[in-house]
Structure 1
């Protein structure tokens, strides 16, 4: 046997198939990615065994006749991990590719790959990575994973608010964080300051001056999610009011109510902050789940998936 074929000897089958990952030799299909010069080589038979979508694509009644398939919606690094898993049941996950690998697993109906992705995402729930991960999960509408991220943030709110990548959160995720009931002690002043820093960052990204008016516009309804009733008169007067972010009519109302609250507390009375100013805790409820659990896939669904991939 030629020396170049020595990799075939005395090895497990999965190891041998693993060596064929993205190997041009003996390949009969390749995948291209619009906007990227990268190409991934594959073998139709192996891919079809691992994915009913690939099987329909290569051997079904509407099979592809070209030797190059364009993949417009998955980054090459994530698609390569899908191929690697089909060939060898191994996967190399990172914080940057895990969400797209899970997306690829769903699209090509490889549910066995979704589990290691879910496990890895839970391992990535750390103070310095949770915001980046939550952004990605939100982009791909993985609501269950978004909820897991929010639960982690609720337990580590102060530390997460101090991370630079907090400023990169999608707007809807910022609002979700502001609506949390932190498990750890986090003041509403910290929430307010984090929201202002987020808005300042967004203004700079849009090449806008971070003026009070622009910050107020950028925050939109999120500005009303801060529980101003939990602040003291001194905190509001010293740190919130000087920013001129709060609309004047609301700021006057807050001053009046905080004054009444302070007087009531001095007299030992129970003070109830008005609903118009209080943040509606838990108003949004859990993020609605859009994905169902894995189940048996019908032939019709496989054909529809194949058609989606081909379009």
Structure 2
């Protein structure tokens, strides 16, 4: 034990202050960490602190005590000096300095020395760092030492819900086949099945290049292996199957024939397939949010509902619009879309939105399907991708104007004075009516994605994304 620290270093320091002072100090040190890859490095420590904080060190020193062995050096061969310094700093002071460069190594060290608190902080840090570019890399690196699979499950969830983005990254091409299989297993994987297939094919071709093999059908099938059964070919259209799948070499001749027969003869709603391939639809990771509309019932709007409305959607990350729900649905004649680049629009004023609403040539119809009248929901059949670079305007046209609450049902004070037209509503001529004076705006957090909705029409009470 070093005695050079005997003196007045304690002063009026608190217990926390003394521990901070002793961290990485030779004062009172009775054990040193040495490193296999850095023979000159020696980090001082204190057995009592190590045993107090880590079950691994407690067992290590207890065994040594029972055998009368004196441990003065602990050689570490799988943790660097820099990481061990950060780990010791955490043991003594609870301070932690995480960065993208050290988080994985600290997570590994936390797992090795059974430091649950440190592990939890590293896991939270990595979870908050997840995005489309790094999610595959994070998932692969934490496998095997992710306590309770906190990071792994978060990564898989992110990949499944943002597959259309992740599949485009270079890191996706380097995942293992086991990881690819785990992704394809999901019932909530986003995107069309043909796009999922293209991603698998691209991954297999990249594996051929990595292993210096030709991209022949045999080699592609070898790398894909049984993971091919995780692609739900029965969900594809016959056109996609003939044009993309059959020439690719991913499937054997037997599978090509079997699937071709099924897809060409299947009826809408078929979910059964005799074979290893699944015909169960993926729900695309639909995430539903309630809208607290100022006017939840379109027939109870003061002055009535106009015949066209403009709703604007903004987002900070790519996300797909899936469906709208509410009593207004039964009156909808058409839904159209127009996108504006944010860099081209200095400000979205009420007047320029009204100009958009009245414009004729800029709007593109959105195909959708609607359920039964009681369900009051429409589901968009095409991918409506909302981008952070755009203002996405949705024009909702009704097949007739809804009269709403009559003037006599409104307080006389309101009914006898001119009202303002609802924001987002089209002008309806000069007929006497009490206008809607409130508009519904909301911001939602969808799986770490912020979505802002402006000028939500009356009677739209639920929105879904994926």
Deviations 1:235-284 (A, max 9, x none): 111111111121111001111112112xx45xxxx4344141533769xx
Q: How big is each residue's C-alpha offset from its partner over 1:187-231, in whole Å with a ceiling of 9 and x where there is no partner?
A: 112211211222222222222222221111011101111011111
Shift of 1:77: 4.4
2:137 alignment counterpart: 132
Contact 1:134 1:149 in 2 (8 A): yes
CA contact (8 A) 1:227 1:279 kept: yes
The answer for the alignment partner of 1:276 in structure 2 is 275
Provide the secondary structure at the position in 2 that maps to 1:139. coil
1:49 and 2:52 aligned = yes
TM-score, normalising length: structure 2: 0.51
Distance 2:203 2:165 in 1: 15
Among 93, 99, 103, the alignment partner of 2:98 is 93
TM-score, normalized by length of structure 1?
Answer: 0.73
In 1, Cα distance between equivalents of 2:215 and 2:20: 52
Residues in 1 aligned to 2:141 and 2:112: alpha-carbon distance in whole angstroms: 17
2:181 corresponds to: 175
Q: Which has the larger radius of gyration?
A: 2
Q: 1:193: which partner in 2? A: 198
CA–CA distance in structure 2, aligned partners of residues 84 and 277 of structure 1: 53
Inter-partner Cα distance in structure 2 for 1:232 and 1:255: 10
The answer to whether the 8 Å contact 2:220/2:249 transfers is: no
- CA–CA distance in structure 2, aligned partners of residues 143 and 137 of structure 1: 11
Do structure 1's residue 32 and structure 2's residue 34 form an aligned pair?
Answer: yes
Q: Deviations over 1:7-26 (max 9, x none)?
A: 97787664664465545677
Question: How big is each residue's C-alpha offset from its partner over 1:106-128, in whole Å with a ceiling of 9 and x where there is no partner?
Answer: 43233222331232132123222
Which residue, out of 118, 138, 147, partners 2:153?
A: 147
Cα distance in 2 for residues equivalent to 1:63 and 1:125: 48
Per-residue CA distance 1:24-67 (angstroms, 9 max, x = gap): 67755333344456835031243333324324434643576354
2-structure distance, mates of 1:63, 1:159:
59
Unaligned runs of 5+ in 1: 283-311
1:286 alignment partner in structure 2: none
Task: Tell me the equivalent position of 2:214.
Answer: 209
Q: Within 2, Cα distance between the matches of 1:36 and 1:215?
A: 44
Name the Cα RMSD after superposition.
Answer: 3.2
How far off its partner does 1:139 sit?
A: 3.1
CA distance in 1, matches of 2:99, 2:249: 42
**How many residues matched?**
271
Are residues 43 and 225 of structure 1, via their aligned partners in 2, closer, same or farther at CA, if it must alter by over 3 Å? same
Q: Which residue of 2 aligns with 1:305?
A: none
Taking a change above 3 Å as real, the CA distance of residues 119 and 58 of structure 1, as seen in their structure-2 partners, is same
Equivalent positions of 1:252-267 (< 5 A) are 252-261=257-266, 264=267
**In the alignment, what sits opposite 2:411?**
none
The change in CA–CA distance for 1:36 and 1:194 in structure 2 (over 3 A counts) is: farther
Question: Which structure shows the higher helix fraction?
Answer: 1
1:123-159 deviations in Å (ceiling 9; x for gaps): 1232222211111222326462322221222221111
Q: Distance in 1 between matches of 2:17 and 2:214?
A: 57
1:283-294 matches, within 5 Å, as: none
1:62–1:81 distance in 2 versus 1, CA, 3 Å: farther
The answer on whether the counterparts of 2:34 and 2:75 sit within 8 Å (CA) in structure 1 is yes
- Distance in 2 (alpha carbons) for counterparts of 1:143 and 1:206: 33
